[in-house]
Amino acid sequence: MATTSCDVAIVGAGLGGCFLALLLRRRGQRVVVIEQGPSIPSAGADFLKPPGLRVLARHGLAELVERHGLRRDLIRYYHDGEPIRECRFPDGGFLIRPYRELVELIYACCAMEGVEFCFDAAIERVEREGDRIELLTLSDGSRLRADVVVGADGTKSAIRRALDIDQVAMPYDRLLMRVATVPLSASVAQLNRLYFSSGGWLAYLYPLDRDQARVFVGLPPEQDDAVFGGGGASLVDLLRGFVSDSTDAFGSLPAAAWHPIKVSSLRVGAYHKGNAALLGSAAFACHPMTGMGMSYTLYDAEILADVISAAGGDQALLDKLLQARYEPRRQAHRQLIDYGDALATTFHDRRAYLRAFRADLHIYGDEAAPRTTPALQPI
Ligand SMILES: Cc1cc2nc3c(=O)[nH]c(=O)nc-3n(C[C@H](O)[C@H](O)[C@H](O)COP(=O)(O)OP(=O)(O)OC[C@H]3O[C@@H](n4cnc5c(N)ncnc54)[C@H](O)[C@@H]3O)c2cc1C
């Protein structure tokens, strides 16, 4: 099989991989994206918070992603059925847009600009010389040589493994999550509501578009079989104990298809080695309760695009720039992962959760928040 060459090989066509590919292509780099799936990934996030929206706006993509998205600016929190606080997002709030739709838009821009995609093409072998990745062999036998390799290939990253970078994954195994898509009801159309119970359950209901809603249920793992495994416990009866203002959604829940979701945090020992770097979930993962994973990933892709273009194929310069500009992102990610841990371990305890909640991180992430950032608002 032939060996092809490019400036940058990006492994993984999720949000991180596609956005980085677009930025690099716009700077004249020849980019190849290798994706093991038949198309871009479908599962993932729904909320794009203000920092991520600002990144997209800097690259002329804000109008495109917002065209069919839904803007919201308020989340109301409940504990044991009682409304406890609200978080209001200033300046138009955040965007709800299913992950696949969002990535598809970026992918379409990539295709227009001439990024090359190889689908159904997992990484079979990674050949290194010292710290440098010399050659990638794909599952169809074809080979790719690139000046720079980016592992945007998710939490189980093959590139991270090939670079021998340590990782620590911590499953949130005290909270089993399930998600379903159901018809939109009036209460869900009105407001995003996040319910917690002192028994260790949570339920989050929000609109996806004008017709559909997403419902997340989190529960202690020992109760999953009884509720979702045919054990006879009624989901609606259990939700009734702490979900107070969204009861008009209950009718659609028993017949819904409930998909389990595995959620873990991930910390890794380094973000780059030789001519390779890690991006997005290959580099870090935090609890989805922060709602910030995509925003940080988009910002990281901006930094990587700057660094890779500035290095212009000079390995020593690339190493220096990655160390100076990209490696420090680990500190921001560490703070976000710790924050996700704090939310995930306190939500059953109202006081502890309110103490752990940080409106600045929730709204602005690691951007400098204005000095007057509101705390959670009383209702
Ligand atoms: C349940 C859940 C809810 C979330 N909600 C939010 C939210 O509301 N807001 C938010 O900002 N963030 C949220 N996040 C985080 C967000 O989904 C991630 O930050 C984001 O998806 C990271 O994008 P990515 O491109 O790194 O990874 P991914 O989207 O995981 O893409 C990785 C890609 O790499 C491919 N791949 C893997 N291995 C290989 C290989 N060997 N060869 C080729 N391709 C490979 C995969 O098929 C996949 O397409 C959530 C995460 C979860 C789990």
Q: What is the pLDDT of residues 139-186, one digit of tens each?
A: 989 999 999 999 999 999 999 999 999 999 999 988 899 999 999 999
Q: What is the pLDDT of residue 329?
A: 97
Q: Which residues have C-beta within 8 Å of that of residue 276, sequence separation ≥ 6?
A: 133, 148, 149, 150, 151, 159, 163
State the architecture of 176-261 in CATH terms: 2-Layer Sandwich (3.30)
15 lines ligand 1 (CB under 6 A): yes
Question: Alpha carbon of 319 to those of 10, 146, 199, 294, 345: distances in Å?
Answer: 17, 15, 49, 25, 38
Tell whether ligand 1 has an atom less than 6 A from the beta carbon of residue 297.
Answer: yes
Whether ligand 1 lies within 6 angstroms of the CB of 16 is answered as yes
* Residue among 215, 214, 220, 226 at smallest CA distance from 201: 220
Burial (CB < 10 A; 0-12, 13-18, 19+), residue 349, is: middle
Question: Which CATH architecture fits 3-73+94-171+265-347?
Answer: 3-Layer(bba) Sandwich (3.50)
Q: Is the CB of 290 under 6 A from ligand 1?
A: no
Specify the residue with its C-alpha closest to ligand 1, atom 19.
293
- Is there an atom of ligand 1 within 6 Å of 340 CB? no
pLDDT per position as a tens digit, 280-302: 999 999 999 999 999 999 999 99
Across the strands, what pairs with 151? Answer: 11, 278
Low-confidence ranges of the chain (pLDDT < 70): 373-375
Continuous H helices in 133-292: 158-162, 186-190, 224-228, 235-240
Atom of ligand 1 nearest to the CA of 34: 43
Least Cα distance to 17 among 313, 350, 365, 280 occurs for 280
Q: What are the start and end residues of each CATH 3.50.50.60 domain in the chain?
A: 3-73+94-171+265-347
Q: Which two tokens stand for residue 262?
A: 């595995």
Check pocket membership of 217 for ligand 1, CB cut-off 6 A: no
The answer to whether the CB of 268 falls within 8 A of the CB of 334 is no
Tokens of 87: 């978080």
Residue with tokens 């009383």: 378
Structure tokens at 15: 């949000």
Outline which parts of the chain fall under CATH 3.30.9.10: 176-261
Q: How far is CA 123 from CA 37, 157, 169, 328, in A?
A: 11, 10, 22, 28
- Rounded distance from Cα 154 to ligand 1 centre (Å): 6
pLDDT of 160 reads 98
**What is residue 239's three-state secondary structure?**
helix
Place of tokens 């969204």: 246
Q: Report the C-alpha gap between 197 and 189 in whole angstroms.
A: 23
Inter-residue contact 118 to 138 (CB < 8 Å): yes
How many angstroms separate the CA atoms of 301 and 23, rounded?
A: 8
User: Quick check: 6 and 30 in contact, CB under 8 A?
Assistant: yes
Pocket perturbation via mutation, ligand 1, pick of 15, 214, 266 by most ligand atoms within 8 A of CB: 15
8 A C-beta contact, residue 62 and residue 53: yes
> Residue 166's Cα: distance from chain center in Å?
21
Among 36, 72, 140, 296, name the best residue to mutate to test ligand 1's pocket (greatest count of ligand atoms within 8 A of Cβ): 36
What is the rounded CA–CA span in Å between residue 363 and residue 360? 5
Alpha-helix residue ranges (DSSP H) falling in the chain: 15-26, 50-58, 62-66, 99-113, 158-162, 186-190, 224-228, 235-240, 293-311, 315-321, 329-346, 350-356, 359-364
**Cα-Cα-Cα-Cα dihedral sign, residues 344, 348, 354, 355:** negative
